[in-house]
Amino acid sequence: MADSRQKTDPPVLVGRVKRMMSILLNRPRVLNSLNTEMIRLIRRALEEAERDDSIRFVVLHGIGEKGFCAGGDIKTLAMAAKSRQLREAHEFFDAEYALDFRIYRFPKPVVVLAHGITMGGGLGLAAGADVVIGTERTRMAMPESRIGIFPDVGATGWLFKKCPEGYPEFLALTGYELGGSECVRLGLATHLCPFDRLPGVLLMLEDYSEPLPQKRKDAAEQLTRYLTSFLSTDSSPNPEMDEWVRTYFHAQDSILRIMETLSTCRSQEQLCADFFFQLGERSPTSLVLTLHLLRHNEGRAMDEVYAVDSKAVRFMLAHHDFLEGVRARIIDKDDKPQWRPQRIEEVDLSSILPQIFAN
């Protein structure tokens, strides 16, 4: 994972080794945050891999020890929004969602080496993969509402396909950060590998030369068996937290009701305290929108989820809270966003939701 990037290097490096195509994110100074050029290069590589019969699987990974991908290049998108160049921002998100959906529907196995920080758009890339390998250093989260957006990249749909009951709501609303084996326990990673053995996984994949079944699922299972000596699915159970999350978050449709019930909670007091702290950091508009998206997108086909995300992100990009969140968290870093409105009780999305959810 050494940083070998030169000034002239492209932001995505594509290589072929035997039956594998390697797609390597190459912006380590910004934790491989995605921009439009990177998305275009990844999409082009996938198109080539799909056409080339000698390529039987794809590996997505990132340069640098700190992370696979921290998400989208939010500062650049905020500058576009601030200068009212919203078309540029819209094009980025449309291209990102199209790429994520392409990974879902890709006919060959996709492996993601999700070392270090894997958040937001990084999880979007991993969500449609067959094998997502984390390490003890992996950190996964959907923290978007801290900057006035919402957990996009299809998260309000695919969280229900991956996580135990209650966790889609809990993770999306709080931005709770999963670490190491917890990523496997809650379904965002499929396997765990010690960080110092991750280069060995890549070498094994590069060396793979045997035929693979035509069906993507069967081929992915064969690759997983091939890597058995490196991978584990072990994770420490946490039944107390699971029960707390299921009790207070599963199928809830009102943030105010969640807050009311948790205000009298007498178990898991630290989790309760953390919840109120995390909510206090986030845009009330983003939070209310997020819960509506969760309730609407649960169980829907992923193409429908991405279509809704595209409409919802246009609303938030034009909303005060996005520019204010980026200012407070990323540019000025004073951590004092002035949300409009400032209270969840004051958020009224009755006029915008029909537009977002319209077919």
Beta bridge partners of 59: 22, 111
The two three-digit tokens of residue 53, written as one number:
């019969």
Q: Which of 248, 291, 307 is nearest to 272 (CA)?
A: 248
Spatial distance between the Cα atoms of 350 and 242, rounded to a whole number of angstroms? 33
Our answer to whether residue 144 is catalytic in this structure is yes
**Given 73, 100, 144, 182, which residue is catalytic?**
144
Our answer to whether residue 179 is catalytic in this structure is no
Q: Which of 29, 31, 24 is nearest to 10 (CA)?
A: 24
Cis omega (within 30 of 0) for bond into 341: yes
CA 61 to each of CA 9, 15, 130, 140, 194: distance values in angstroms, whole numbers, following the listed order: 16, 12, 14, 15, 16
CA 246 to each of CA 164, 184, 189, 253, 279: distance values in angstroms, whole numbers, following the listed order: 8, 18, 20, 14, 18
**Given 121, 124, 148, 325, which residue is catalytic?**
121
Name, in order, each residue with C-beta under 8 angstroms of 112's C-beta and a sequence gap of 6 or more. Answer: 59, 60, 61, 68, 125, 126, 129, 131, 132, 133
**Given 152, 182, 309, 321, which residue is catalytic?**
152
**Given 62, 72, 154, 180, which residue is catalytic?**
72
- Catalytic residue positions, numbered: 72, 121, 144, 152
